[in-house]
Amino acid sequence: MSTKRDFKIGMVGYKFMGKAHSHAYKDVGMFFDLDVNVYMHTICGRNEQAVKQAAEQFGWEQVKTNWKEMVEQPELDLIDINAPSDMHKEIAIGAIEAGKHVLCEKPLAMTLKDAKEMLAAAEKAGVKHGICFNYRFLPAVQLAKQLIDEGRLGEIYHYRAQYLQDWLVDPNAPLTWRLRKEIAGSGAHGDLNSHCIDLARFLIGEFDEVIGQSQTFVKERPLIDQPDQKGAVTVDDSTSFLARFKNGAIGTFEATRYGTGWKNGNCFEINGSKGSIRFNLERLNELQVYFTDDDEHVQGFRTINVTEPVHPYAGHWWPAGHIIGYEHGFVHLIYELINSIVHDRPFAPSFYDGVKCQQVLEAVDRSIAERTWVKVDEVE
Amino acid sequence: MSTKRDFKIGMVGYKFMGKAHSHAYKDVGMFFDLDVNVYMHTICGRNEQAVKQAAEQFGWEQVKTNWKEMVEQPELDLIDINAPSDMHKEIAIGAIEAGKHVLCEKPLAMTLKDAKEMLAAAEKAGVKHGICFNYRFLPAVQLAKQLIDEGRLGEIYHYRAQYLQDWLVDPNAPLTWRLRKEIAGSGAHGDLNSHCIDLARFLIGEFDEVIGQSQTFVKERPLIDQPDQKGAVTVDDSTSFLARFKNGAIGTFEATRYGTGWKNGNCFEINGSKGSIRFNLERLNELQVYFTDDDEHVQGFRTINVTEPVHPYAGHWWPAGHIIGYEHGFVHLIYELINSIVHDRPFAPSFYDGVKCQQVLEAVDRSIAERTWVKVDEVE
Amino acid sequence: MSTKRDFKIGMVGYKFMGKAHSHAYKDVGMFFDLDVNVYMHTICGRNEQAVKQAAEQFGWEQVKTNWKEMVEQPELDLIDINAPSDMHKEIAIGAIEAGKHVLCEKPLAMTLKDAKEMLAAAEKAGVKHGICFNYRFLPAVQLAKQLIDEGRLGEIYHYRAQYLQDWLVDPNAPLTWRLRKEIAGSGAHGDLNSHCIDLARFLIGEFDEVIGQSQTFVKERPLIDQPDQKGAVTVDDSTSFLARFKNGAIGTFEATRYGTGWKNGNCFEINGSKGSIRFNLERLNELQVYFTDDDEHVQGFRTINVTEPVHPYAGHWWPAGHIIGYEHGFVHLIYELINSIVHDRPFAPSFYDGVKCQQVLEAVDRSIAERTWVKVDEVE
Amino acid sequence: MSTKRDFKIGMVGYKFMGKAHSHAYKDVGMFFDLDVNVYMHTICGRNEQAVKQAAEQFGWEQVKTNWKEMVEQPELDLIDINAPSDMHKEIAIGAIEAGKHVLCEKPLAMTLKDAKEMLAAAEKAGVKHGICFNYRFLPAVQLAKQLIDEGRLGEIYHYRAQYLQDWLVDPNAPLTWRLRKEIAGSGAHGDLNSHCIDLARFLIGEFDEVIGQSQTFVKERPLIDQPDQKGAVTVDDSTSFLARFKNGAIGTFEATRYGTGWKNGNCFEINGSKGSIRFNLERLNELQVYFTDDDEHVQGFRTINVTEPVHPYAGHWWPAGHIIGYEHGFVHLIYELINSIVHDRPFAPSFYDGVKCQQVLEAVDRSIAERTWVKVDEVE
């Protein structure tokens, strides 16, 4: 019944991220006022049966098993890439060369070099390009950004990030593809620290130098197909690093899949000369803040329920105190990306942010190999 | 593309609840495996322009301005009533008499007598009937119920409920329809205590007797159309009551719109001979539990992140630790209701639960008027 | 080595409260600058061996087994009464008539009538009289009082008090004297609600009317001396009540010894037109506050660590963040009481506060018996 | 009145730590059953007037201004050294050579070399020697140790320590002695990380290698005597480091005086294959634990109120839920130390622990200077 023009999506991938992205395309128009009608046109995957099932479940109009065919469809406005990481580069460049705007899941690519090529291609083609650092778009994170930009934290001294999960604590958990370097590229570092790095860049700026350590606690795990045999875990279970930022702040970062009791603990804390901010993804509707200019006898960390109309995005959902969930961040991201395309405005996080994140990840890897500090800008 | 038969919904109402219900119909099939394809067929409201706008925004196929026409449509399977409360009875009975299954928002009716008539009609017609006590369907609340049923709390001693909001603290907030008895029926009592009462019945059983108090703190508020004039607030700002349950437990209940700092604090705590449970809707993904059979030196309230596959409904959404929001409770309710219709199984909360809740609400009202305890079963 | 004059204490009682008071006398001079030297002169109790042991352990100079002898000692400045409650009246009046200043543990007496007699005696004699409502003297409670007096909460709407303990949850816990009405006078009501009532009066003012309920969950318990036999529990396990205050605020109060998981949860929350306050004795170094005049996007409950030099009493102890414990409240009370005696200044809480508290307790008891609201001022 | 023999203390120092230690000597006998009577015999300091004032306030019998005279007094059993750090070595060795048992505040010495000399002297003399790592003696920390020793955490993967304070956030705070290297030796590193290092060693064992970073955010501060002029801050404001432990665990450590909003946030978290533990000194009566062998649907971090009789030391104080404060840790330490002397049993933390802590601190310093990992055992 819509009188708006259709904005047609083609998406490669249909698993966890495919579901989260599909949900965002399905719901965005119900909660956000776009000038276009988001149309779930084509979903693409190599396994025809699986992708058909996904299309029915998620509500996509059409199925493809060859991404090249998909990106050639002239009616598509945006190509969304959440296929396995080792496919990102090829598909993204293919889509870009077909003149499409692109959204790519993180990590942008398997290497910094590949990521840079993707960025160059997108910039040359003049298309909009986004990377799916979804946590930037949570109301609490947006509020944190706003407070920092307002100067409410003063000069930034400390950035403290921890991304703690515990799904590998059981030594008998099987050797999934996520634990094999040739497929996953990296373990906790690429999967979790990438989010922490992007949030740090978003909130307080660029990294200067880093030094890290990695550990694989359980070296061998049961094979999925032959549980009585074991294979080697070839990625990190945990990677932590120290950082210096260009603005003089110092940071500590830690990612692990052995943080027993933590399910999705993407936490950060920022201490500045005028205030502090704390965030924990497991309570993503809350932001804790402290201000040194509060009256002296009533200073304390406030727990803000970031669901009021005055808070970023919150007014689009429910009345105050009616909290939102993990997937809502994707809705906000999709809303902003489509708006930026429709109105030809800049979008961030873009491939540039994907490149910068990759650079920090690789700098940490190099620092581990070389056992010394590495300047981020010197990693190429 | 679905091969399942369509299950067609007709809905009356399109505001806050209309949006929440629409979202549930839109998303349920993406996350839950139903044997039917949920089809958003007709939305109905008296203001044609507004309902058309809602239909476009929410994704309904067809618009009606007369609910009688809608309930006569033979293809509809379920009539969802979230129109203003004073319309519930008429529409529900109309739909029932047309042979439709019905879902009705709370309160079921304006009076206990009306509610009983609705229940009688539904039972006579043999249709499925549900009332939208959505909070029953949160994973944490379902887990609480499971633990009580497992006997993990032992004999129940205390039920402590508070539903605290603060949107009326500003004395200059206007005199909306919610503050006028002739339209809203009741204030904090009917709006908030109704949820507390239903949860208490769901979790620990029936009420025996009650005594309450009400207060209207700000007696007059600015008229919406003439803000320089004031009109009388004719509902309660806050109602609290003491209760005795049939199982020997005792309870305290409090609802207020003056709970400064609380946005949607629907909290309960249950103390039993073997354990305790605490819940706060502002952190609806968490349940706190305490067990006396834990080792003596490590007893303490646990904060369970109710997002693991082992938790009710949680496995349908995202991996552990990826929290869900307020609206997900509606999705679960809709899922259960449609399943109960498709498979002809009982559904609760039904109109019976609406009647029982209304009975407790009226018992409290009477206890306030008479300044003494009132037996709930004696209220008719 | 002190050059100050000695201020000599005589104390009746040597158990839990005797220990807490002794500690306060021992430590007060080390942390607070008094114009006198606190001298632990005489401790008195009926069991000579036990009181001698206490004297050695706690550091009292001299032992008496007859309180009458003790109060006649001319050198004593203050008589501290923490003997069993049924002895309070006789000893207090004896001490007063001997011209001594008196400090009495709560409850002041077994009945309102007795309490009034004690107050009359003290006022007639012109001595200083204090009742040991120690929780008034915690830094967080003092800060709460200060904020209310500063107007930071605006008009008070709600007072919500819960005193939750769980030491009776085990049905095989023995029938101690605390569970026998003839000795203890009352159960959770007198023991716990008395603290809640005093704090409410201290913080927001006088009660107008009340209605309550009581429950004894476990009616019989093993006798201490013959554990194979049982005796009747004759006090309340839990008492809750609704209240109206003279300033228009409404309240809910609940005390229980069946609050499974709570050890000493003396909690209150106050909601006003400009802010809210929350306190929990299990985290007595913290006060939570909310202000509606904070910037709209950063409103939230603050958790104040009440240990800064700017906070009441805190500067006398350790640097900020070095928390204090339960017993420190007694030190502050003793400090204030001795100061009031030495400088002839008023002291509160006095016997007057003991009387007012007793009046509310009895009003609740009467409301339970009569199943209707009782005006506090009409209880005599 | 005591029939026990006197155990006589001589103490050098009378400021913050002198007060905390004095309090412990004063109170220990009231709450703990020792075979001796603790006697506060001599307090020593260079400023006669100040030390006399301290003697009166804290309750010491005798005053000395020359520590050599004091340690020669034959009646003294224990010498307690909380003089400035640069005096520790000389006094400790003097006391040891006089045959005294010694307790020394942290840091044991200004250098690892000095610390080793002190240890050698004490071992040679066969006296008892203790270092005042008071936080080991908190009930929650003792419980953590007990749980680890019981195997409740399984294999240890992660140790995460943060000691956050904020008293230097104000750039106009003056240049106290703590900010001058020649006097304080170190900044946040020596002051705060020393506690974190000792707790880590106590709880999970020895360090293998480390790499760190330091920062001085505010390079110059107002001189105390000439506030219009500034002097250089010559210690670290913050030091963080990564660590590997000999048992395979990895660690992150951070100490800062710029942790805005934190007053005394000595926090640690330990993740193991079977459970986790969290502690925060600002809530020192609580320990959070998580166990993977809890029933799957009720796993969560428990908050244990470590005040039950079953908890370490807790039964000596007040009933359950009546919390204790910062200073109680010193009482426990003093109790254990005196017991170890009286009964000739080993005591820890001893000078050995002081040496090992110093070694880690210096390894971190060296890693910062050399920008690479340093093996702790290779630091001499």
CATH number, domain with residue C99: 3.40.50.720
Q: Does C304 touch chain A (CB under 8 A)?
A: yes
Are the C-beta atoms of residues A48 and A63 closer than 8 Å to each other?
yes
Q: Does D2 touch chain A (CB under 8 A)?
A: no
Number of B–C residue contacts, CB under 8 Å? 121
Q: Which of B127, B41, B118, B34 is nearest to B336 (CA)?
A: B34
Q: Which of B120, B86, B118, B124 is nearest to B103 (CA)?
A: B118
Q: Above 60 in pLDDT, residue B1?
A: no
- Mean per-residue pLDDT for A177-197? 92
Name the pLDDT band for B183 (thresholds 50, 70, 90). confident
- Mean per-residue pLDDT for C211-223? 96
Domain assignment present for residue C185? The answer is yes
Domain assignment present for residue C48? The answer is yes
Are the C-beta atoms of residues A27 and A46 closer than 8 Å to each other?
no
The answer for A 164-183 residues in CB contact with B (under 8 A) is: 165, 167
Q: Which of A370, A368, A378 is nearest to A186 (CA)?
A: A368
Cross-chain residue pair A289–C300, CB shorter than 8 Å: yes
- Mean per-residue pLDDT for B325-340? 98
Q: Does D373 touch chain A (CB under 8 A)?
A: yes
Residues D274 and D151 in one domain: yes
Q: Above 60 in pLDDT, residue A129?
A: yes
Are the C-beta atoms of residues C101 and C129 closer than 8 Å to each other?
yes
Residues D143 and D99 in one domain: no
Residues A212 and A357 in one domain: yes
Domain assignment present for residue B343? The answer is no
Cross-chain residue pair D157–A301, CB shorter than 8 Å: no
In sequence order, which residues have a C-beta less than 8 Å from that of residue D284 and are 6 or more positions away? C323, D138, D140, D324, D325, D326, D329
The per-residue pLDDT for range B47-72, each reduced to its tens digit, is 999 999 999 999 999 999 999 999 99
Cross-chain residue pair A284–B323, CB shorter than 8 Å: yes
Domain assignment present for residue D128? The answer is yes
Please tell me which of the candidates D213, D271, D371 has its beta carbon nearest to residue A372.
D371
* Chain C touching partners, 3 or more CB pairs below 8 A: A, B, D
Q: Does A303 touch chain C (CB under 8 A)?
A: yes
Beta strands D62-64 and A275-280: pairing type?
unpaired
Domain assignment present for residue B218? The answer is yes
Percentage of chain C beyond pLDDT 70 is 99
The per-residue pLDDT for range C19-33, each reduced to its tens digit, is 999 999 999 999 999
Task: Report pLDDT for A184.
Answer: 84
Residues C107 and C250 in one domain: no
Task: Report pLDDT for A13.
Answer: 97
Task: Report pLDDT for A2.
Answer: 59
Please tell me which of the candidates B164, B250, B373 has its beta carbon nearest to residue C240.
B250
Name the pLDDT band for D59 (thresholds 50, 70, 90). very high
Q: Above 90 in pLDDT, residue B267?
A: yes
Name the pLDDT band for B159 (thresholds 50, 70, 90). very high
Nearest residue of chain D to residue C324 (CA atoms): D325
Please tell me which of the candidates B27, B305, B326 has its beta carbon nearest to residue A322.
B326
Residues C123 and C145 in one domain: no
Q: Above 70 in pLDDT, residue D2?
A: no
Nearest residue of chain B to residue D304 (CA atoms): B300
What is the rounded average pLDDT for all residues in chain B?
Answer: 96
- Mean per-residue pLDDT for D268-286? 98
Residues of C in contact with B299 (CB under 8 A): 261
Domain termination site, one of A81, A112, A134:
A134
Cross-chain residue pair A308–B59, CB shorter than 8 Å: no
What domain count does chain A have? Answer: 2
The per-residue pLDDT for range B203-244, each reduced to its tens digit, is 999 999 999 999 999 999 999 999 999 999 999 999 999 999
Domain termination site, one of B110, B134, B158:
B134
Residues D15 and D50 in one domain: yes
Q: Does A296 touch chain C (CB under 8 A)?
A: yes
Q: Does D146 touch chain B (CB under 8 A)?
A: yes
Burial class (CB in 10 A: 0-12, 13-18, 19+), A41: buried
Please tell me the distance from the alpha carbon of residue B85 to that of residue C336, in angstroms, as a whole number.
58
Span between the terminal Cα atoms of chain C, in Å: 51
Q: Does B30 touch chain A (CB under 8 A)?
A: yes
Cross-chain residue pair A158–D271, CB shorter than 8 Å: no
Residues of B in contact with C271 (CB under 8 A): 164, 166, 169, 256, 258-261
How far C252 CA sits from the closest chain D CA (Å)?
23
Residues A59 and A157 in one domain: no
Which residue out of D155, D158, D216, D253 would a mutagenesis test of the A interface target, given it has the greatest number of A Cβ atoms within 10 Å? D158
- Up-side HSE of residue D318: CA atoms within 13 Å toward CB? 21
Residues A111 and A238 in one domain: no
Which residue out of A274, A302, A306 would a mutagenesis test of the C interface target, given it has the greatest number of C Cβ atoms within 10 Å? A302
Q: Above 60 in pLDDT, residue B370?
A: yes
Which domain CATH number covers B289? Answer: 3.30.360.10
- Does residue A39 come out as left (phi exceeding 0), alpha (psi in the -120 to 50 range) or beta? beta
What is the rounded average pLDDT for all residues in chain D?
Answer: 96
Cross-chain residue pair B240–C242, CB shorter than 8 Å: yes
Name the pLDDT band for C310 (thresholds 50, 70, 90). very high
Q: What's the token pair of residue B222?
A: 């600015």
Q: Above 90 in pLDDT, residue C1?
A: no
Which residue out of D150, D302, D305, D306 would a mutagenesis test of the B interface target, given it has the greatest number of B Cβ atoms within 10 Å? D302
Is this complex scored with an ipTM above 0.90? yes
How far C300 CA sits from the closest chain A CA (Å)?
4
Task: Report pLDDT for A82.
Answer: 97
Residues of A in contact with D170 (CB under 8 A): 292
Task: Report pLDDT for A95.
Answer: 98
Domain termination site, one of D108, D134, D160:
D134
Q: Above 80 in pLDDT, residue C352?
A: yes
Q: Does D272 touch chain A (CB under 8 A)?
A: yes
Q: Does B162 touch chain C (CB under 8 A)?
A: yes
CA distances from C304 to C119, C141, D168, D261 (A): 37, 12, 19, 9
CA distances from B338 to A96, B14, B42, B118, D161 (A): 44, 20, 17, 20, 51
Residues B363 and B215 in one domain: yes
Q: What's the token pair of residue C228?
A: 């194979």
Please tell me which of the candidates B213, B242, B372 has its beta carbon nearest to residue C240.
B242
Q: Does B27 touch chain A (CB under 8 A)?
A: yes
Q: Does A151 touch chain C (CB under 8 A)?
A: no
Task: Report pLDDT for C2.
Answer: 59
Q: Does A247 touch chain D (CB under 8 A)?
A: no
Q: Above 80 in pLDDT, residue C378?
A: yes
Which residue out of A158, A239, A254, A279 would a mutagenesis test of the D interface target, given it has the greatest number of D Cβ atoms within 10 Å? A158
Name the pLDDT band for B2 (thresholds 50, 70, 90). low
- Mean per-residue pLDDT for B350-365? 98
Domain assignment present for residue B337? The answer is no
Residues of A in contact with C291 (CB under 8 A): 298
Residues of A in contact with B20 (CB under 8 A): 318
The per-residue pLDDT for range D289-332, each reduced to its tens digit, is 999 999 999 999 999 999 999 999 999 999 999 999 999 999 99
Cross-chain residue pair D300–B300, CB shorter than 8 Å: no
Q: What's the token pair of residue C296?
A: 């709209």
Q: Does C299 touch chain A (CB under 8 A)?
A: yes
The per-residue pLDDT for range A22-35, each reduced to its tens digit, is 999 999 999 999 99
Residues D100 and D242 in one domain: no
Q: What's the token pair of residue C10?
A: 């005589």
Domain assignment present for residue B152? The answer is yes
Q: Does D160 touch chain A (CB under 8 A)?
A: yes
Nearest residue of chain B to residue A4 (CA atoms): B56
- Does residue D287 come out as left (phi exceeding 0), alpha (psi in the -120 to 50 range) or beta? beta
Domain hosting residue A33, numbered range: 5-134
Residues D154 and D118 in one domain: no
Number of B–D residue contacts, CB under 8 Å? 57
Task: Report pLDDT for C48.
Answer: 96
Nearest residue of chain D to residue C163 (CA atoms): D321
Nearest residue of chain D to residue C4 (CA atoms): D56
Please tell me which of the candidates A157, A241, A301 has its beta carbon nearest to residue D217.
A157
Q: Above 80 in pLDDT, residue C119?
A: yes
Cross-chain residue pair D297–B305, CB shorter than 8 Å: no
Please tell me which of the candidates A56, A263, A317 has its beta carbon nearest to residue B321.
A263
Domain assignment present for residue C336? The answer is no
Residues of B in contact with D140 (CB under 8 A): none
Residues of B in contact with D283 (CB under 8 A): none
Name the pLDDT band for C183 (thresholds 50, 70, 90). confident
Residues C128 and C146 in one domain: no
CA angle A82/A84/A85 to nearest 5° reads 95
Nearest residue of chain D to residue B300 (CA atoms): D304
The 3-state DSSP class for residue D219 equals: coil
